[in-house]
Structure 1
Amino acid sequence: MEAIVNDPAGAVIGLDFDGTLSPIVPDPAQAVIHPKAPGVLAELGARVRAVAIVTGRPAATALELGPGLADVPGLVVLGHYGFERWEDGRISAPPPPPGVPRAKAELPLLLESLGVRGVSIEDKRRAVAVHTRRSPDPEGTLEALREPLAKLAGEHGLVVEPGRMVLELRPPGMDKGQALSLFLAERSARSVMFVGDDLGDLAAFEAVRASGLPGVTVCSGSAEVTALAERADIVVDGPDGVVALLEELVSAIGGT
């Protein structure tokens, strides 16, 4: 953290969205960014080299759920684990992989055949996610779905990304770690911080350490995921804790 405070112009701040900037909710479509997050990110963006949101969501969805984010100076949103990029009001991305709509079309019948109840399918356009949070037995249902969904993903050239009561079928070849590494190189970063909450953020933590830069990893803590907290330099209490930490960072930079 000291390197970021002493040289903010060389710092890249990366953050996950769900569970980090936005509280986890039963229906992902009802998620909303922490009310203080856009403001503190705007203050941070005016001081550091770059602020990047690295999320499994489509970039446009993160912006829709985060009113005010588009006004953060220099913000870049790397959606779909880095396959998609929003910057300066424009989205760039390769064509959607054909395996995703095919897998999505087969999911309802597969879920019916397995007899699972209370699950929901989220169409993320470049990925498709199965949420078990509203199932009578969320964890048991998640475990029961791991093998069948892995098989379905493999049949369509996809991989399964596990998360907090969710299994996501998405294209291989990119993860948050690769996305962050490429972004750090692009911006010639001199220090880095990454904040996340879920298993998909482990790759970004590894990228921070592999970068060779002064860096800090922060876990937005929860009772659902402990693996990330075990690998983090700093653990805070959910999105409230994330915002408080960012406010402290802004204050520390402002005082230098």
Structure 2
Amino acid sequence: MEFCSAVGSDQYDAVVRAGRRLLVALDFDGTLAPIVDDPTAAHIHPDAPLVLDKLAAEVRGIAVITGRPARQVLALGGLDEVGDAIAEHDRELVVLGQYGNERWTSYERRVITPKPPPGLSGLIRELPRLLREAGVPDAWIEEKGLAVAVHTRRLADPEAAFAQLLPALAEAARERRLAIEPGRMVIEIRAGGMDKGRALSSLVSELEASAVVFVGDDLGDVPAFEAALKVREAGFPALLVCSGSEEQRALREIVDLVVDGPDGVMQFLRVLAADVAAAHVSK
């Protein structure tokens, strides 16, 4: 692995030594699953179930922290079955959906979710008009229960459409006291007060983890990367990994390691599991 700096290499060695105290948290789209034109077809990488199972045997816990609804990720990832396998190692798989607003664990086996935020239903009704006024009437609207996402990836010029839509949707979200989350050719509007960083920090505390690896791929993951850096600043090891994204080059400036999409993520996790196992045996 080629780390972005000597700090990254040192942090990798430290999280490996942490072993059984390590929490590994990952985004879903672009990290465990490929980015595709139709998000409902973004199935998990075929190697992921076995890779996550082997990793779970060596670390404190594994979490998927995603902007998608938890039930959708469970279906696309086959994570119920992955949770069954992980349970055999007396470990827990945690899925935090909708940026941490929803929760499922392989122990509890049910999705805990709050009510939709005030103002969201009104915004959804107005979206077709807002899209027309922004000159992007064909952007795809995806209702997600606690949020709504507007996708431009299917359009002829997705980047230009994204740039046209962002100011209008940001203003509409501000008026309704909702949060806006730009991603990879998608703009999501949701309840405020929760993000992937807060979700990750809460999970670190809950599991009493003293080392963290976070793997993400777009701007919605920045709060989680920042939360991982706070773990490092507190004196504990934390490794920040970017699942290669040309669309979000800014991430490359803050992470320790860049891998080649979901294939690269799988290879990284295989090596991490093997290195943690070897370090545990040598103690």
| TM-score interval, smaller chain | over 0.9
Tell me which of 257, 263, 266 is aligned to 1:243: 266
Note if contact 1:162-1:168 (Cα within 8 Å) is conserved in structure 2.
yes
Q: Which amino acid counterpart does residue 12 of structure 1 have in structure 2?
A: L
Tell me which of 173, 182, 189 is aligned to 1:169: 189
Q: Which amino acid counterpart does residue 241 of structure 1 have in structure 2?
A: G
Tell me which of 96, 104, 108 is aligned to 1:78: 96
CA distance in 1, matches of 2:134, 2:148: 18
Alpha-carbon offset, residue 133 of structure 1: 0.5
The runs of 5 or more residues in structure 1 that have no matched partner are none
Q: Which amino acid counterpart does residue 38 of structure 1 have in structure 2?
A: P
Match of 1:218, SS state, is: strand
Confirm or deny that 1:97 pairs with 2:97. Answer: no
Alpha-carbon offset, residue 163 of structure 1: 0.4
Note if contact 1:118-1:136 (Cα within 8 Å) is conserved in structure 2.
no
Note if contact 2:128-2:137 (Cα within 8 Å) is conserved in structure 1.
no
Q: Which amino acid counterpart does residue 216 of structure 2 have in structure 1?
A: G
Tell me which of 191, 194, 214 is aligned to 2:214: 194
Note if contact 1:117-1:136 (Cα within 8 Å) is conserved in structure 2.
no
Note if contact 2:120-2:147 (Cα within 8 Å) is conserved in structure 1.
yes
Alpha-carbon offset, residue 112 of structure 1: 2.4
Confirm or deny that 1:64 pairs with 2:84. Answer: no
Match of 2:45, SS state, is: coil
Q: Which amino acid counterpart does residue 86 of structure 1 have in structure 2?
A: W
TM-score, normalised to structure 1's length? 0.96
Name the structure where helix makes up a greater proportion of residues.
2
Confirm or deny that 1:111 pairs with 2:131. Answer: yes
The aligned counterpart of 2:248 is 225
Q: Which amino acid counterpart does residue 170 of structure 1 have in structure 2?
A: R
Match of 1:91, SS state, is: coil
CA distance in 2, matches of 1:62, 1:241: 20
Tell me which of 166, 184, 201 is aligned to 1:146: 166
The aligned counterpart of 1:53 is 64
Q: CA RMSD in A?
A: 1.3
The runs of 5 or more residues in structure 2 that have no matched partner are 1-11, 87-91
Note if contact 1:33-1:65 (Cα within 8 Å) is conserved in structure 2.
yes
Note if contact 2:180-2:188 (Cα within 8 Å) is conserved in structure 1.
yes
The aligned counterpart of 2:152 is 132
Alpha-carbon offset, residue 109 of structure 1: 2.1
TM-score, normalised to structure 2's length? 0.87
Alpha-carbon offset, residue 70 of structure 1: 3.4
Alpha-carbon offset, residue 118 of structure 1: 3.5
